[in-house]
Amino acid sequence: MTKYIIRRLLQTIPVLLGVSILVFSLMFLIPGDPAQVMAGEGASAQTVENLREKLGLNDPAYVQYGRYLSSALQGDLGNSIRSGRPVMEEIQTRFWVTLEVAIYSTILAVFIGLIAGIISAVRHYTLTDVSIMIIALFGLSMPNFWLGLLLIQWFALGNLPFDIPFPEFLKMRPSGWGDTWRQMVLPVITLGTGGAAIIARMTRSSMLEVIGQDYIRTARAKGVSERVVIYRHALKNALIPVVTIIGLEFGGFLGGAVLTETIFAINGMGRLTIDAIRQRDFPVVQGTVLVISLLFVVVNLLVDISYKFLNKRIDLN
Amino acid sequence: MNEMENILVVNNLQTTFKTDAGDIRAVDGVSFTVPKGKTIGIVGESGSGKSITSLTILRLLASNGRVNGGEVLFKGKDLLKLPEKAMREIRGNQISMIFQEPMTSLNPVYTVGQQIGETIQIHKKVGKKEAIQQSIEMLKLVGIPSPEKRVKQYPHELSGGMRQRVMIAMALACDPEILIADEPTTALDVTIQAQILELIKDLQNRLGMSVIMITHDLGVVAETCDYVAVMYAGQVVEYSDVRSLFKNPKHPYTLGLLNSLPRHDIEQEKLIPIKGMVPSPHEMPVGCRFAPRCPVATELCHNKMPQLLNTNDSNAEQIRCWMFSDEWDGDSEVTLYGEKRTIKG
């Protein structure tokens, strides 16, 4: 097991190297000059040129990359062009917020998704199943930003459709994170429902496949109750593909909640990234993408390790 | 009833499956009896309904399957009328079952001990520790070496023969009165097949249970069974004790089946196959289901379905063929697969 983890960690090195090269070269392809941005619109050509020199932007690309990589390895991702603060510091403060949003959203997604998927599978081809799958299809197709705006309209501004009177206790706060639970409900629902839909569909198809297996018939022939058949014999076998999806969802929440964080004005990684892109704050963009990639790799590693506990046939070594 | 006690009586069982192409009558009027302590073989080709019959007895049909009629009397109680909870107490406890595919019939994520122990825990109401202890005893009983080690292993660490032994251990853990063995050796190597059959027979003698042996292999029937029900296209066509079946097969299908087997006691130039194919479940013949393939079928056979009737006074021998009824409209002497026969009717 330890050997496997070490090997997997070593395997992440080329992945991260690739990401860093990609992120770094992307900066050269995007129009706009960071020195110009820093110096401001009205700065003279001389000022901009001095700044370029100071930032090392005139050096050849590979020198810049080498410099970037060596400091990155020492935990230094450079300084933000905008705020002047170390990128690492910027990321750290935002990371915890995003992690919290991601954890709650994942819990919600797993909770709803698993239950809906299991019910759907157990009652397959009934009205219940069809209804759940139609709702899941909606959840899957609905863009996050639209759902987010809708939820703000309904539950933060109190404009429910069809002139339904708005019950005060449902009033949520439309922005921010962490001061009160009323701020956290809407973003978590926005992110969690989409994930729940994917998990529900995956759970259903995986459960249906497992329920058809011979060992499920064996369990029934032993005199085991239907509940135990489903939860003890079927679910554990059906979870493997579901765990993969859960991992991907969680990784996605960590890195890709850009729109949701923007809509709800949450100061997380997603917003940091989007603001950095808008302001051409290249070191921050590079830093966030790199960190998000690293998180994704770690989450996937955790998923792979969890397989071992779900399926004894998997030999990690 | 006979002097012998029948522990299970299946009467006119009918099972249908709903499919997109319409309803399929997989089992249509199956009757047989299982005497206490004896082995009855249910033999037939694939698709003849023998596995469905056994699943119907334990009410383990897939969700699109339905029992349309008949009764399954276990010690006088009709299993088809029991509530699900009472049925669960019978499954794995009084009637248990082993399956054709030992490779896929055990749950891959639980140890052998957990799986045998589960049956024991449910039915004997004992604790986990005691259940594992009894699992070890069961593994010993079915001849698995170093059971203390095996009990902690997962199915994938065992060979096919071992897994079938584990299945048997699981099935017998609660001293069932009937063991249903659905093609228990079909998926195994020939050498292992003999071992497993020997084991089932040996355990039957020691524990005194009845066995329903479902197989397509007449060799297995000859070796293990006391009585045989021959099935064709969802029906029992002949039921008799194993000796008279092999010595004096009555139904043309049984005769054809035996003739298509190699024998070492007589000289055969070549094996004679039964002409034609099993009818599709969607287009069952109106009359005798074997009529389209039967060399002596008459108009009566094609138009009217024969019933399963006793051939003599006892119900120890039953046959579903017009030749053995008074209504028979064919010649009084026929040649079946090269054998001359005088018809009773």
Tens of pLDDT, residues A72-102: 888 888 888 788 889 899 898 888 989 989 9
The two tokens of residue B204 are 């039957």
Section A204-219 average pLDDT: 94
Residue A53: which residues within 8 A CB-CB, separation 6 or more?
A: none
Estimate the crossing angle of helix B112-124 against helix B160-172, to 10 degrees. 10
Within 8 A of B118 by CB-CB distance, chain A residues are: 222, 224
Q: Give CB contacts under 8 A, 24+ apart, made by A48-56.
A: none
Nearest Cα of chain A lies from the Cα of B110 at a distance, in angstroms, of 8
Interface membership of B210 toward A (CB under 8 Å): no
For A223, which of B89, B106, B167 is closest by C-beta distance? B89
Cβ atoms of B126 and B120 closer than 8 Å: yes
Within chain A, residue ranges assigned H as helices are 2-29, 34-39, 45-55, 61-73, 87-122, 127-141, 144-151, 181-211, 214-221, 226-228, 235-256, 258-263, 269-278, 282-310
Estimate the crossing angle of helix A181-211 against helix A144-151, to 10 degrees. 130
Interface membership of A237 toward B (CB under 8 Å): yes
| Yes or no, beta carbons of B92 and A313 under 8 Å apart | no
Nearest Cα of chain A lies from the Cα of B7 at a distance, in angstroms, of 19
Residue B278 has a pLDDT of: 85
pLDDT, tens only, A57-66:
888 888 888 8
pLDDT, tens only, B274-307:
888 888 888 888 999 999 998 888 899 999 999 8
Mean pLDDT of chain B: 88
User: If you search the block for the tokens 């749950």, which residue do you land on?
Assistant: B107
pLDDT tier, B313 (very low <50, low <70, confident <90, very high otherwise): low
| Yes or no, beta carbons of A223 and B122 under 8 Å apart | yes
Q: Is the pLDDT of residue B9 over 70?
A: yes
| Yes or no, beta carbons of A225 and B108 under 8 Å apart | no
Mean pLDDT of chain A: 86
Nearest Cα of chain A lies from the Cα of B77 at a distance, in angstroms, of 18
> Measured in whole angstroms, how far is the alpha carbon of residue B253 from the centre of its chain?
17
Residue A200 has a pLDDT of: 95
Section A219-245 average pLDDT: 92
Distance CA B62, CA B195 (A): 31
Q: What percent of chain A has pLDDT over 90?
A: 27
Section B310-324 average pLDDT: 80
Interface membership of B54 toward A (CB under 8 Å): no
| Yes or no, beta carbons of A223 and B105 under 8 Å apart | no
Distance CA B47, CA B25 (A): 11
Residue B87: which residues within 8 A CB-CB, separation 6 or more?
A: B58, B59, B79
Amino acid, res. A140: L
Choosing among A125, A210, A222, A309, which should be mutated to test the B contact, i.e. which has the most B CBs within 10 A? A222
Within 8 A of A307 by CB-CB distance, chain B residues are: none
Distance CA B271, CA B256 (A): 10
Residue B7: count of CB within 10 angstroms of its CB: 21
Distance CA B173, CA B134 (A): 8
More confident residue, B268 or A59: A59
Section B241-261 average pLDDT: 88
The two tokens of residue B269 are 């130039």
Alpha-carbon dihedral sign for residues A55, A56, A58, A64 = negative
Backbone dihedral angles phi then psi of residue B117, each to the nearest 5 degrees: -60, -35
Three-state SS for A286? helix
Q: What is the pTM of this model?
A: 0.82
Report, in angstroms and rounded to the nearest whole number, the Rg of chain B calculated over CA atoms.
21
| Yes or no, beta carbons of A221 and B154 under 8 Å apart | no
Q: What percent of chain B has pLDDT over 90?
A: 57
| Yes or no, beta carbons of A237 and B108 under 8 Å apart | yes
User: Ranked by mean pLDDT, which of A253-257, B77-81, B328-332 comes out on top?
Assistant: B77-81
- Looking at residue A81, the DSSP 8-state letter turns out to be T
Within 8 A of A236 by CB-CB distance, chain B residues are: 109
Interface membership of A123 toward B (CB under 8 Å): no
| Yes or no, beta carbons of A215 and B106 under 8 Å apart | yes
Q: Which of residues 295-314 of A touch B (CB under 8 A)?
A: 310-313
Nearest Cα of chain B lies from the Cα of A222 at a distance, in angstroms, of 4
pLDDT, tens only, B82-112:
999 999 999 999 999 999 888 899 999 999 9
Q: Is the pLDDT of residue A133 over 90?
A: yes
| A-B contacts (CB, under 8 Å) | 65
Q: Is the pLDDT of residue B1 over 70?
A: no
pLDDT, tens only, B117-159:
999 999 999 999 999 999 999 999 999 999 999 999 999 999 9
Which residues make beta-bridge pairs with B231? B236
Estimate the crossing angle of helix B190-207 against helix B160-172, to 10 degrees. 20
Distance CA B304, CA B126 (A): 56
Residue B3 has a pLDDT of: 46
Within 8 A of A306 by CB-CB distance, chain B residues are: none
Residue B315 has a pLDDT of: 63
More confident residue, B251 or A281: B251
Cβ atoms of B12 and B72 closer than 8 Å: no
Cβ atoms of A90 and A272 closer than 8 Å: yes
Section A211-224 average pLDDT: 93
pLDDT, tens only, A143-171:
888 988 998 888 888 777 777 777 777 77
Backbone dihedral angles phi then psi of residue B336, each to the nearest 5 degrees: -115, 120
Amino acid, res. A157: L
User: Ranked by mean pLDDT, which of A37-51, A144-158, B303-317 comes out on top?
Assistant: A144-158
Residue B239 has a pLDDT of: 93
Residue A163: which residues within 8 A CB-CB, separation 6 or more?
A: none
Considering only the C-alpha atoms of chain B, give the largest distance between any 2 of them, rounded to a whole number of Å.
69
Distance CA A38, CA B322 (A): 102
Distance CA A301, CA B226 (A): 59
CA distances (Å), B345 to each of A181, A265, B299, B309, in order?
Answer: 89, 94, 16, 14
Residue B4 has a pLDDT of: 61
Residue A278 has a pLDDT of: 86
Cα of first residue to Cα of last residue in chain B, in angstroms, is 26
pLDDT tier, B309 (very low <50, low <70, confident <90, very high otherwise): confident
Closest CA to B72 of B158, B180, B185: B180
Distance CA A276, CA A286 (A): 9
